[in-house]
Amino acid sequence: MRIPGAIAHPCLALALLPLSGALAQEPYQLGLGYKLLDDITVGGYLSTEFSRGENINEVLIEDLAILTYGNLTDRLSFLLELESVDFYKADLENGTDSGNTRPAIERLYADYKVSDYASFRVGKQISPIGYWNLQPINVLRETTSSPRLSREMFPKFVTGVSVQGFVPFDETLHYTAYLQNTGDMDAKYINIDVDQHYGLTLEKSLSPQWKIGGSVGKYREQNKNRTDYFQLNARYDDERFSFLTEGIVDQHKQWLGSKETSTAVYTQLEYRFVPQHALIARAEAFRDDRVALHEKIGILGYSYRPLFPVSLKLEYQWHADSNNNRLVGSFSILF
Amino acid sequence: MRIFIAVILLLSLPAHAAEYAVVVSSNSTVQAMEIAKIKDIFLKKRSFEGELRIVPVNPIGNDPARTQFESEVLNMSREEINRYWVNNHFQGISPPTTQASLQSIKRFIETVDGAIGYLPIDMVDASLRIVHEY
Give the residue ranges of DSSP H helices in chain A: 10-16, 148-152
Report ipTM (2 d.p.). 0.87
The verdict on a CB contact (< 8 Å) between A3 and B53 is no
Please report which confidence band the pLDDT of residue A17 belongs to, taking 50, 70 and 90 as the band edges.
Answer: very low
Average pLDDT rounded to a whole number, residues A270-285: 95
Give one DSSP letter per residue of A195-224, joined into a string: EEEEEEEEEEESSSSEEEEEEEEEEEETTS
Residue contacts between A and B (CB atoms, under 8 Å)? 112
Q: Which fold has domain B18-133?
A: D-Maltodextrin-Binding Protein; domain 2 (3.40.190)
pLDDT digit string, tens, across residues A174-229: 999 999 999 988 888 889 999 999 999 999 999 989 999 999 999 999 988 999 99
Question: Which of B37, B49, B86, B90 to mutate to probe the A interface, most A CBs <10 Å?
Answer: B90
**Extended beta strands in B3-114, E state:** 20-25, 48-49, 52-53, 55-59, 97-99
Query: Which chain A residues contact residue B91 at CB under 8 A?
Result: 134
Query: Which chain A residues contact residue B113 at CB under 8 A?
Result: 2-6, 8, 13
Whether B71 contacts chain A with CB within 8 A: no
* Reported pTM: 0.88
The verdict on a CB contact (< 8 Å) between B89 and A79 is no
Boundaries of every domain in chain A: 10-334
Which of B90, B100, B111 minimises the CB distance to A1?
A: B111
Q: Which whole-number Å values give the CA distances from A171 to A206, A266, A297, B5, in the listed order? A: 11, 29, 37, 49
Q: Which whole-number Å values give the CA distances from B116 to A8, A128, A167, B24, in the listed order? A: 16, 30, 24, 5
pLDDT reading at B105 higher than 60: yes
Which of B52, B61, B79 minimises the CB distance to A5?
A: B52
- Tell me which residues of chain A, numbers 313 to 332, contact chain B at a CB-CB cutoff of 8 Å: none
The verdict on a CB contact (< 8 Å) between A67 and B111 is no
Any bridge partners for residue A43, and if so which? A67
Q: Which whole-number Å values give the CA distances from A107 to A83, A112, A197, B84, in the listed order? A: 9, 16, 17, 21
Q: d(Cα A88, Cα A76) in Å, to the nearest integer?
A: 37
The nearest CA of chain B is from the CA of A110 a distance in Å of 11
Question: Which of A72, A116, A162, A166 to mutate to probe the B interface, most B CBs <10 Å?
Answer: A116
pLDDT digit string, tens, across residues B34-89: 999 999 999 999 999 988 999 999 999 889 999 999 999 999 988 889 999 999 99
What are the two backbone dihedrals, phi and then psi, of residue A6, each rounded to the nearest 5 degrees? -65, -30
Whether B100 contacts chain A with CB within 8 A: yes
pLDDT digit string, tens, across residues A137-167: 999 999 999 999 999 999 999 999 999 999 9
Judged on CB neighbours under 10 Å (0-12, 13-18, 19+), B63 is: middle
Give the end-to-end CA distance of chain A in Å, rounded to a whole number: 38
Whether B113 contacts chain A with CB within 8 A: yes
pLDDT value of residue A19: 39
Q: d(Cα B52, Cα B54) in Å, to the nearest integer?
A: 6
pLDDT reading at A37 higher than 80: no
Q: Residue type at A25?
A: Q
Which class is A10-334 in CATH?
mainly beta
pLDDT value of residue A18: 40
